[in-house]
Amino acid sequence: MEKLSLDALAREQLETARRASSGRAAHTPVGGHDHVLRQAVIALCAGRELAEHENPGEATLQVLRGRVRLVAGETSWDGRQGDLLVVPQRPHKLEAIEDAAVLLTVAKLR
């Protein structure tokens, strides 16, 4: 068994994102590309985004800190700390409304 602190991971990734020229950082504490289940803590500085991309499987975003906007076509959903957003099965992007950290959980389709 392993125990992780999402609060500590969010804080660490936000600190890394603030130092990075890209304004973002990520760490995958569970799973990876060769697993069905993957969880990653992603941090984005305010005004930064993850460009539009396809969904590799079923996915959710849990907002750990800050505020984000998930955009798919003409539809968008705002999330703040404590919210859980279900990622749509179509191209989408993630925008940081303010400095934010999210837990992305993906179950890849096989």
Contacts of 1 by beta carbon, 8 Å cutoff, 6+ apart: none
Residue 13 lies in a domain: yes
Q: How many CB atoms lie within 10 A of CB 75?
A: 10
Residue 45 lies in a domain: yes
Compute the half-sphere exposure of residue 108: CA atoms within 13 Å on the CB side of its CA: 11
Residue 84: give the domain boundaries: 6-108
What pLDDT, on a 0 to 100 scale, did the predictor assign at position 37? 86
Residue 58's φ and ψ, nearest 5 degrees, are -70, 140
Task: Report the number of distinct structural domains present in the chain.
Answer: 1
The 10s digit of each residue's pLDDT in 79-94 is 999 999 999 989 999 9
The 10s digit of each residue's pLDDT in 23-62 is 999 999 988 777 788 999 999 999 999 999 888 789 999 9
What pLDDT, on a 0 to 100 scale, did the predictor assign at position 54? 87
The 10s digit of each residue's pLDDT in 6-23 is 999 999 999 999 999 999
Nearest-angstrom CA–CA distance, 29 and 86: 20
**Block residue for tokens 């500590």:** 8
- CATH number of the domain to which 83 belongs: 2.60.120.10
